[in-house]
């Protein structure tokens, strides 16, 4: 069985995200995990996730980077506090800012790898840099500024 993903630990009421919520039946179900000091998510776009024919839709790439970024932020938040993933109070981050540079067209029909690395943790804010690879080549680079949801939000 695969190791649990960060998103598997989101509380039920915060697990409905279209990108990464395990309880959104229409969603993408992006799953992120640690890989040393980096994080990784793998995703195979559906045939209709096309931009120009043969290449992956940029909005999907932005979505992958977005949810992998907030997932990485949550995992980094737990790690910074020396806590187990999923321990209470739950940490959940939302996106304040998202930037994606599309370096080359991303081929459709192969598994994509999204990797992340924490650049900064400061108070409630986590800055994550991310990059997306296909066939071993970096196709896009991104940055997510994620902000922790206040406790009171739930």
**Using CB under 8 A, which of the segments 1-9, 33-41, 43-51, 123-131 binds its own copies?**
43-51
Q: Does 2 bind its own copies (CB under 8 A)?
A: no
Q: Name the one residue in this structure whose structure tokens are 């071993």.
A: 136
Q: What mask, x for binding its own copies by CB under 8 A, covers residues 133 to 152?
A: ----------------x---
Give the nearer residue to its own copies in terms of CB position, either 82 or 150: 150
CA-closest candidate to residue 118, choices 148, 82, 146? 146
Count of residues that bind its own copies according to CB under 8 A:
39
Rule CB under 8 A: choose which of 22, 78, 86, 102 binds its own copies. 102
What tokens appear for 14 in the block?
A: 């915060």
Examine residue 1 and tell whether it contacts its own copies (CB under 8 A): no
Q: Which position among 1, 2, 36, 53 is part of the footprint of its own copies (CB under 8 A)?
A: 53
**Is residue 65 helix, strand or coil?**
helix
Answer yes or no: are the C-beta atoms of 16 and 24 closer than 8 Å.
yes
**How far is 145 from 47, CA to CA, in rounded Å?**
30
122: exposed, middle or buried (C-beta count within 10 Å: 0-12, 13-18, 19+)? exposed
- Where do the H-state alpha helices sit in 17-92? 58-80
Among 6, 7, 9, 21, binds its own copies (CB under 8 A): 21
- By CB under 8 A, name the binding residues for its own copies: 13-14, 16-19, 21, 24-27, 46, 48-53, 57-60, 62-63, 66-67, 92, 94-102, 105, 149, 153
């Amino acid at each position: 069985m695969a190791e649990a993903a960060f998103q598997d630990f989101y509380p039920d009421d915060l697990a409905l995200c279209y990108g990464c919520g395990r309880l959104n039946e229409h969603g993408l179900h992006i799953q992120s995990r640690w890989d040393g000091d980096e994080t990784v998510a793998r995703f195979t776009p559906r045939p209709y996730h096309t931009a120009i024919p043969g290449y992956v839709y940029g909005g999907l790439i932005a979505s992958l980077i977005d949810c992998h970024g907030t997932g990485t932020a949550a995992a980094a938040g737990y790690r910074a506090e020396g806590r187990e993933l999923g321990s209470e109070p739950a940490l959940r981050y939302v996106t304040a800012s998202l930037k994606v540079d599309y370096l080359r067209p991303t081929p459709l029909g192969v598994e994509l790898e999204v990797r992340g690395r924490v650049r900064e943790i400061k108070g409630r804010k986590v800055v994550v840099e991310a990059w997306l690879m296909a066939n071993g080549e970096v196709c896009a680079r991104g940055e997510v500024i994620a902000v922790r949801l206040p406790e009171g939000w739930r």
